[in-house]
Chain A
Amino acid sequence: MLLDVQDLKTNFYTYEGVVKALDGISLKIKEGDTLGLVGETGCGKSVTSLSIIRLILPPGKIEEGKVIFNLGENSKSKGKYVDLLKQTEAFVREVRGDKISMIFQEPSSALNPVYTAGEQICESFLLHRKEELCQEAVEDIRKDVERSRFFYRNIYQIEKKFCQWMLRAPHSFWLKFLSSFPLIGKYKRRIKAEATKKTIQILKRMGIPNPEQVVHRYPHELSGGMQQRVVIAMALACNPKLLIADEPTSNLDVTIQAQILDLIREIKGKLGSSILFITHDLGVVAEMCNYVAVMYAGNICEIAPVKELFKNPLHPYTIALMKSLPEPGRKRLESIKGNVPNLINPPPGCRFHPRCSKAMEICSKEKPKTVKVGKEHFVACHIYT
């Protein structure tokens, strides 16, 4: 198990009242899986993803629940499984971008307009892979020392000393103080150059033509598809174990959508990361994921393997969702009557019951429990209890 979310509750304390955005979400992602999270706008998909990496800002607050994450073997002192919600902010900051990273919805606004594409990808290397970069820089300097003359040799030796110091004590105050002086801080440029080398490599893997030039481009000089590739490169820079993709293709052209989806799938195959794929497009889910979770108003209604869900949807909401998909031979699309409920005053019991065609008396009174109906198929509905 890579990620195990248990009973996650997130509220937003607004002026109008408490918005109960997540009402006890439970998810499991195994290593190498792709879980699709589907639902209407405003049902809490993005809040789920942000809650997992603890990026909920005030007035939002994660009330309770557990986010258990498998750090892998090389974790220091914390053990293999940690509850991210109980860790310190500094620890979570180390996990973000390194172990769990995120692709954002709108590529044009997810890139900082004042930095070049390269600088932004470099940043996550510099944050999480400093040791590796230092080692490579030391290696590089050694080569330079060998083929240079007396004067330069001394300069390189100083640079090397600093890189080694950086390896020994990356947070030393004196190191930071000294490197803020112009010439002494030159070793930083070395480390940055190493990061840039890696950036070019990763951009090449993203299928970007001549990455050496793209590295120096500003975001507004790139096309939408290129921007999204850069955003994905940023997220994948440190080979994360879990990639959260928050509607990565919803603002792109159809052809580029297909390219990006191919890219994500290909890279997933190479790196073996797991993906939490958030989307409202069932077609994309069918193509990308092997498990699907259907969300409605802060609850998960149904989780099943993709084929099972499309063949045999059980929850009334899932069924209605399937009926609203355009399909050859279907004359009229059916819509789900009514609107998404206001989450400040959600309907009692099952949150879907006011719009449900099969609503029973118990639905308005009791919140349905999640039941296992088939192999790996879970439904939260009173019909099946």
Chain B
Amino acid sequence: MIGFSSKIMLKSKKGEFKRRVQPRIKELKFSLSRIKKSPLSLIGLSLILLFASVALLAPIIAPPKYPYEPYRIPRSGYSATPQPPSYQHPFGTTQGQYDIYYGVIWGTRTAFRIGFMVVGSILVIGIILGSISGYYGGLVDEIIMRIVDTFMSIPTLVLAMALVTALGHNLDSVMKALIIVGWPSYARLIRGDILSVREETYVEAARAIGCSDLSIIFKHVLPNAIYPLLIMASLDVGAMVLTAAALSFLGLGAPIGYADWGQMISFARNWIVGPPSNPLAYWYTVVIPGLFILFFVLGWNLLGDAFRDILDPKIRRR
């Protein structure tokens, strides 16, 4: 008898769980159907998923030669001339006999790391400073925005180069430099949106039911102002990887031999055009890492639109 009743209990428990989860599943399905409707965001999503799985499976599809330094690209010899794709080196080797296949696979991890770390920190800094500045206004606003102006008046790449040179020659300093260079535009963007949202009646209504400033900023103002920022962030994951690649190409990024797409292209600098008899002889040195960067950035750009369709409730149900 007891067993029987407990079985009923369990069943009702499960029923309750199902009831609670069902609306979420429904919403998720709806989100997926939104993505399915626009083929471009579907392409973007599948590109990013592909890259994500490559990054996750990197130790399996490209087993590291030096287990304690997986990011170090193995090299077979020291000859400068790149070698075309072969059985041992599926994508060939680049200048200095670094294996391109290994470089691009592990470079995917580097790319994700740069993209997420940089954009994540930029988002946090930008949102905090931008919302303080936008919501309170006055002197605080003035000070923060003048700092932003100062940062924005220096060309991005030049400032990033100067910072990397000052901070030291490694990937961490590249990320730090990109964060320092990137946050001002985020702070400014969110400030502008908050300025317009804080005048809305629903903010006044929230104040009229007795919300505190903090909860008004985080619960009522930010959720309405953050979409442009999120879209910009998803576009910037690609853009930041691109800038990091540019720095690497200029010789200011990762240390030599580190798996990084920018570095791979930087190796190919002297081999973009082959000998006059066969100008495309070394195409693989440029094209393969180049395609990886291209598709990665393209994927994030396409995904930016998909994010907007999913996240913004005003557009979502249209």
Task: List A residues at the B interface (Cβ < 8 Å).
Answer: 53, 55, 93-98, 101-102, 104-106, 109-115, 123-124, 127-128, 147-149, 152, 216, 218, 220-221, 231, 234-235, 237
Contact = CB atoms under 8 A, between A and B. Distances in A.
Interface residues of B, number: 23
Contact of B211 (A127, A221, A231): A127
B23 A216 contact: yes
A110 B313 CA distance: 16
B172 interface: no
A234 B210 contact: no
A126 to B, nearest CB: 10
A109 B200 contact: yes
B207 interface: yes
B210 A93 contact: yes
A110 B317 contact: no
B32 to A, nearest CB: 19
Contact of B201 (A94, A109, A235): A109
Given A93-B210, A114-B223, A148 B9 contact: yes
B208 A102 contact: yes
Given A109-B201, A112-B202, A112-B220, A101 B209 contact: yes
Contacts of B9: 147-149
A185 to B, nearest CB: 16
Contacts of A98: 210
B313 A96 contact: no
Nearest to B205: A110
Interface in B42-56: none
Nearest to B5: A147
B102 to A, nearest CB: 39
Interface string B204-227: 111111111000000110011000
Contacts of A221: 317
B13 interface: yes
A197 to B, nearest CB: 15
Contacts of A94: 210
Instruction: From A112, A113, A148, A216, name the one whose CB has the most chain B CB atoms within 10 angstroms.
Output: A112
9 contacts: A55-B208, A97-B209, A106-B201, A112-B205, A114-B224, A123-B219, A127-B209, A127-B210, A149-B6
A106 B182 CA distance: 39
Nearest to B314: A113
B40 to A, nearest CB: 25
B24 to A, nearest CB: 12
Interface in B1-34: 6, 9, 13, 23
A55 B204 contact: yes
B308 to A, nearest CB: 14
Instruction: From A53, A110, A147, A235, name the one whose CB has the most chain B CB atoms within 10 angstroms.
Output: A110
A104 B210 contact: no
B224 A124 contact: no
B43 to A, nearest CB: 28
A110 B202 contact: yes
A114 B206 CA distance: 13
A241 B299 CA distance: 56
A153 to B, nearest CB: 11
Contacts of A216: 23
B200 A96 contact: no
Contacts of A128: 210
A25 B309 CA distance: 50
Contacts of B223: 112, 114-115
B22 to A, nearest CB: 12
A218 B204 CA distance: 19
B202 to A, nearest CB: 4
A96 B208 contact: yes
A97 B224 contact: no
Given A106-B201, A149-B9, A123 B317 contact: no
B209 A104 contact: no
Contact of A124 (B6, B210, B313, B317): B210
Interface string B279-318: 0000000000000000000000000000000000110010
B209 A96 contact: yes
Contacts of A109: 200-202
A218 B201 contact: no
A220 B314 contact: yes
A104 B205 CA distance: 7
Contacts of B206: 112, 123
A235 B210 CA distance: 11
Contacts of B219: 123
Given A55-B208, A94-B210, A104-B201, 11 more contacts: A53-B208, A97-B209, A110-B202, A111-B205, A113-B314, A147-B9, A152-B13, A218-B317, A220-B317, A235-B209, A237-B209
Contacts of B13: 152
B12 to A, nearest CB: 9
Contacts of B212: 93
A109 B205 CA distance: 9
Nearest to B13: A152
A106 B314 CA distance: 18
Contact of B202 (A55, A95, A111, A220): A111
Given A109-B201, A110-B201, A114-B223, A97 B208 contact: yes
A148 B209 CA distance: 38
B157 to A, nearest CB: 37
B317 A113 contact: no
Contacts of B211: 93, 123, 127
A239 B91 CA distance: 73
Contacts of B6: 149
Contacts of B313: 113-114, 218, 220
Nearest to B23: A216
Instruction: From B9, B224, B313, name the one whose CB has the most chain A CB atoms within 10 angstroms.
Output: B313
Contacts of B208: 53, 55, 96-97, 101-102, 104
Nearest to B199: A57
A170 to B, nearest CB: 14
A333 B219 CA distance: 49
A27 B200 CA distance: 28
A123 B220 CA distance: 11
Instruction: From B13, B200, B201, B317, name the one whose CB has the most chain A CB atoms within 10 angstroms.
Output: B201
B198 to A, nearest CB: 9
Given A114-B313, A149-B6, A149-B9, A123 B207 contact: no
